[in-house]
Amino acid sequence: MLIYNDNDIMGVIFDLDGTLIDSLSSYYIYFNNGLEGIGLQPVSKGLLFKFMGDGISLRGILRTLIPDDRDESVVETVADGILRRFMEIDMELPLLPGVRDVLAFLKASKTAVGVATARPSGADYEWERFRKAKIADFIDVVVTASEVEERKPAPDSIIECARKMNTPPHNCLVVGDSVSDILAAREAGALPVAVATGVEDSDKLKDEMPAAVLNGLGDLISLVSIPMEN
């Protein structure tokens, strides 16, 4: 267990993309390849990341960008192509700096660790990723969008992750890189901690008034303290 601002922290729930894994630059490339494949101009990284930070799905983003006179099948074809190319390299994506150190610290402090992602990939797929990255032993629970009714910014995945960790949400920190992570955490009754390593910069994250904004995941270690009895 840990202490943060006089709060007992029994669990920490992490987002995945932009928080634990360095996936966003590659995703941006494949996303624009998909648009260019149907004759559309590429979008800026800022615009794509804004959509993602607001919790909009890939198909939802494409429906916004692809002209209304295009058939829905075009959206499906482009989305399938983006995902197919991205998934070819997905398991090779590196961890972001500080991930192993933070997870090892949480394990040593006997704090439950969960991952709650808006990806619909399924928990089994993500467990395979963590085993390959040699961090599976540090993680207790994984919840993806396919296991809950609504994806972030709805609180469903945070609530389900806390339930599986046998930890009340109000005793959890939720660490993520987006506005949707902050909103989901707050709605679930958890303490949101933002990290500026993904879709949002620190100023945008601060606007949502999380409990803290970290420059990198490694800063989490100095944010919390270990009770004397631990």
d(Cα 190, Cα 168) in Å, to the nearest integer? 8
> Are 147 and 207 found together in one domain?
yes
> Are 82 and 192 found together in one domain?
no
Q: Where are the alpha helices (DSSP H) in the chain?
A: 24-36, 45-53, 58-65, 72-90, 99-108, 123-132, 156-164, 179-188, 202-207, 220-223
Confidence of residue 93 (pLDDT cuts 50, 70, 90): very high
d(Cα 100, Cα 23) in Å, to the nearest integer? 17
Contacts of 47 (CB under 8 A, 6+ apart): none
> Are 51 and 135 found together in one domain?
no
User: Mind spelling out the 3-state secondary structure of 53-73?
Assistant: HCCCCHHHHHHHHCCCCCCHH
Q: Is the pLDDT of residue 55 over 90?
A: no
Nearest CA to 135 out of 96, 191, 190 is that of: 96
> Are 115 and 218 found together in one domain?
yes
Assess contact for 229 and 14: CB atoms under 8 A.
no
Cis peptide before 153 (omega within 30 of 0): yes
Give tens-digit pLDDT for 18-53. Answer: 999 999 999 999 999 999 999 999 999 999 999 998
Assess contact for 19 and 91: CB atoms under 8 A.
no
> Are 84 and 163 found together in one domain?
no
Give tens-digit pLDDT for 158-204. Answer: 999 999 999 999 999 999 999 999 999 999 999 999 999 999 999 99
Evaluate whether residue 229 is within a structural domain.
no
> Are 60 and 152 found together in one domain?
no
> How many Å is the Cα radius of gyration of the chain?
18
- 54 phi, psi to nearest 5 deg: -85, 0
What crossing angle do the helices spanning 58-65 and 45-53 adopt, rounded to 10°? 130
Please state the pTM of the whole predicted model. 0.92
> Are 145 and 79 found together in one domain?
no
Q: How many distinct structural domains can be found in the chain?
A: 2
> Are 199 and 219 found together in one domain?
yes
The residue range of the domain holding 114 is 2-22+94-223
User: 23: how many CB neighbours lie within 10 A of its CB?
Assistant: 20
> Are 164 and 181 found together in one domain?
yes
pLDDT at 132: 96
Cβ-in-10-Å burial (0-12, 13-18, 19+) of 207 comes to exposed
- CATH number of the CATH domain containing 208: 3.40.50.1000
User: 55: how many CB neighbours lie within 10 A of its CB?
Assistant: 19
